[in-house]
Structure 1
């Protein structure tokens, strides 16, 4: 317990050693002035989602943004968090760390709560390991997660998952927390505990906490310090909770006795008492607002982007993916068993035919089967990889945990061990059971070609999953495997095919290069005539089979260079797609510096 007092200050104790900039940051809370948001409609035209909103969410307070569906609550949260650029207006202060906690609680389900927080601390705190561990313990204690620290995320209750989501963003002590529907999916008791926790965090640490609540109960509303009532993108009330009913009563809108004040306010905002009442309240609220001085709200600008260096991000993410692979024993073991089982099946079917001239074409077919199997076992599972963790990636990336480069490289590197092991295991069993040449060089060429085929297929699956998503990706992924099957070099004679077919084959089929590398080495110029147990074997001479399959003049190093080029291009395309689709998520820091 004594060790907990070292390092960062406790979350529930007012900090006294913050620097001046951060202290000023916390005192200011969030101030926004004349914020409007206009979006384009699908079939042309524009629609105003937010209209000239002005407000101040003070530090040390818990603020609820309420309103009927379509009022603009989530849009306002995105603007305040810096994930959406307003059409007009300012969000101040500049350089302020704000963390958005999404409605959905997503984690790596096989990890425990302590492991999730430990990895978050490693990514978000540029501090020594001892201080990071102390910060994790404090967050667990502050959010009452100590008892479930060793519980896997898949076994956490709804309330525990909500608190863990909050804990992940509290690790680096942001002055502002923005939560989207924190009580959604919780029962009344768990929801009340969650709101109590938020209230405690805001008051004990002078932190600004803003959340949307779709339909708050009277007890939830009592725990709030202030409320911001929205209707059709306009503010109808902004101020203390106690003043909400009195302001409505001043407009002859009397809340019935024993009626939930929040429900009454939502009825008013949804137009149950007339649209003219909504217009009147919006006009009165707008008349109260006075422009806020942007100069007064400037603070020292913080650095944009992740807090930790690239190599810390890379090693942490790589370790996380490898650790998850180890913990997912059933999935990892299933992949190994499938490769082992199919290798044994092919080994039995094509047993001892590698030196048989009468079955030379069958041997070539075996190598095609090896390539196609590796394509689809590498392609299909990885189509699901990114869509399955996209929600986790978006949460972490949008909150500046790491750069896209570190995430992408770590994902690729961490996928190598299992892919290489399965490829080597599968190819080795098939190779030796089918009596291929007992030559180390030939064996290594076959193993390397198979491994590069598998890595190319995995990269293609990652690209399809990134571009098309889960449902479309499952349909498009097999289509990307069709060129690998048609143009592998066994079914279509490319030397006699039209130029267009050759261009398509050489630019889309990486299995063609793998197949050619294997055949050109297995039936290389140094190999003696094959065994022939029949009267006549046309392919008794290995050179005839090489000529028949159009591999006579192939250079294995050129084939490997082509395979590596395919691997580099596919991964580069995947990275560029992710850059285009998700760079906007990490504009938070830069946006706050220029608003």
Structure 2
């Protein structure tokens, strides 16, 4: 049957040096049962059989919930398979075979900040590390031509849901995902709803590319599809109809409508396309239960016959040996490639003028608020408040900036590297995480560290809490440690949200609330129901560390009582509830020989104010200092 392509759609008849080893697909009595917690198991896919010739294009069609994705996952060895047998070229599934099977998910797994060419080249560098750069570039150029992406090679992928950052079209995005899967030249390709979200013209281009891959380049293609147009439907070679997990038809695409029409006793109306009419029969339940059982029996009989009569098409020894000889990428190579990709992803966001201006304003405002702090009783609490403000600023920004790094970037890197080394998935997964974490975190921290300098210079200079270069350097180094810590906490929360299906923003707000409440600032540790909780709070350690440095220059503080002796710095910190190695409070984990006097909780919890009245006492000791701080 001749196919009429939509107006304006051009088809490429250029042949490229891209020919895969043929591989047929057969399955027998394949079923899938999904176990549910606190509920009985569900048979998502009834036992079914079928066969596909190498280099053919099969459409798995049916209503929503019919079992299309379940069948694809079972055939691709990606989901639960309760029973049956699947043969790939006459062989059962193996780790070596995984490299010859490609899967394109319904959700587009592409990074918005990269261009089309960069996306393909970075994927090729990870998955084809055994090839020379020239060979990888030739593979990329060939796929750009086959998938008809050469015209948009330099276009950024962008976000299709945002008009401000829109890049390539939906059809080009889908073809880019297909191209990434074709880098390893798989013999078998599974696609879940490749035309989802596309108009009829773009859907035709995508399926036409799949047809060319099958007929010209020898790829066996299985695609699930919901309700294609008549032009798209005519591109498929064979059809598999599913409804509620039951296979109602499996055979040539052109004969499906006639078979259903004969069963129902009436022919397909001339104004209905075959795909629309078949979907109407399935969805509107034009078939009785008896007719469905008859269809299922005939489909099973035809599938059994095809399964038994099909001669397996095995891969050549050359292709198998090439797969086996492909060495996995080393950890250093992964870090180098993922580091280059992370740098490309971060371009344009290393220095953002608006965020830099925000941090500069925060530093100026805080500096004027704590302008030129001195070393007397009135300034002690202000110094401690400045320490807390400095800590919470660099808790919030690095933590929130780390949340969006994990969900797509790490998942894509893990998948590409696992496909590059299927022989050792567990080890490769572990290597992938560390190889992704090191460069991604290092590059993602660059803008935070630059903004830290922009904020800290005016803040510390105006407040006078780091008057010399050594004190400023130590304080800045401590702030760098705080930034790295909370950036890592943000990554941890993002990973936890991925595994628990929770919202990373909700988890981060819960964590920051805990940090605020259990620092000892608002409620003294002695009055907390569980004072030990503060030791699980990284903000507690951050505030204590900055306070140690903020009070570093003032070794002695003026007495609040006129004529009184100066009070040692350690006594001031102990009164504030902050221990030092010299005081032996244990807050920093150091046990010292001399323990300080127990701090007055009223001094920690109270509001600090300057003492405006004098004293007739000739000397003032620690008790007078505590009263003044109260």
Tell me what 1:554 maps to: 581
> Structure 1 residues 534, 149: CA separation in 2 closer, same or farther (over 3 Å shift)?
farther
Question: TM-score normalised to the size of structure 2?
Answer: 0.77
Tell me what 1:130 maps to: 134
**Structure 1 counterpart SS, 2:26:** strand
Tell me what 1:481 maps to: 512
Q: Does 1:115 align with 2:118?
A: yes
> Structure 1 residues 414, 467: CA separation in 2 closer, same or farther (over 3 Å shift)?
same
Q: Within 1, Cα distance between the matches of 2:203 and 2:243? A: 24
> Structure 1 residues 199, 160: CA separation in 2 closer, same or farther (over 3 Å shift)?
same
**Structure 2 counterpart SS, 1:51:** strand
Q: Select the residue among 569, 572, 575 that pairs with 1:542.
A: 569
**Structure 1 counterpart SS, 2:347:** helix
Tell me what 2:345 maps to: 324
Tell me what 1:569 maps to: none
Tell me what 1:90 maps to: 85
Q: Within 1, Cα distance between the matches of 2:53 and 2:328? A: 26
Select the structure of larger CA radius of gyration. 2
> Structure 1 residues 260, 427: CA separation in 2 closer, same or farther (over 3 Å shift)?
same
Q: Within 2, Cα distance between the matches of 1:241 and 1:466? A: 44
Q: Deviation at 1:90? A: 2.3
Tell me what 1:587 maps to: none
> Structure 1 residues 448, 245: CA separation in 2 closer, same or farther (over 3 Å shift)?
same
Tell me what 2:611 maps to: none
Tell me what 1:520 maps to: 548
Tell me what 1:227 maps to: 239
> Structure 1 residues 536, 247: CA separation in 2 closer, same or farther (over 3 Å shift)?
farther
State the Cα deviation string for residues 497-551 of structure 1 (Å, max 9, x = none). 56x63321112x1122222223234434x84434689957997642331221233
Q: Within 2, Cα distance between the matches of 1:539 and 1:227? A: 91
State the Cα deviation string for residues 105-137 of structure 1 (Å, max 9, x = none). 342222211111111111111222222222222
Q: Deviation at 1:47? A: 1.2
Q: Select the residue among 215, 234, 257 that pairs with 1:203.
A: 215
**Structure 1 counterpart SS, 2:186:** coil
Q: Is the 8 A contact 1:483 1:505 kept in 2?
A: no
Q: Select the residue among 367, 383, 395 that pairs with 1:347.
A: 367
Question: TM-score normalised to the size of structure 1?
Answer: 0.81
Q: Select the residue among 447, 450, 464 that pairs with 2:493.
A: 464
State the Cα deviation string for residues 146-199 of structure 1 (Å, max 9, x = none). 111111112111221121111111122111111111112222122112211111
**Structure 1 counterpart SS, 2:79:** coil
Q: Within 1, Cα distance between the matches of 2:278 and 2:456? A: 69
Tell me what 1:6 maps to: none
Tell me what 2:52 maps to: 57
Q: Deviation at 1:366? A: 0.5
Tell me what 2:480 maps to: 451
Which structure is higher in helix share? 1
- Structure 1: which 5+ residue stretches go unaligned? 1-9, 563-595
Q: Does 1:529 align with 2:587?
A: no
Q: Within 1, Cα distance between the matches of 2:224 and 2:340? A: 36
Matches for 1:565-576 after TM superposition, within 5 Å: none
Q: Does 1:147 align with 2:174?
A: no
Q: Is the 8 A contact 2:24 2:312 kept in 1?
A: no
Q: Deviation at 1:342? A: 1.1
Tell me what 2:4 maps to: none
Tell me what 2:107 maps to: 104
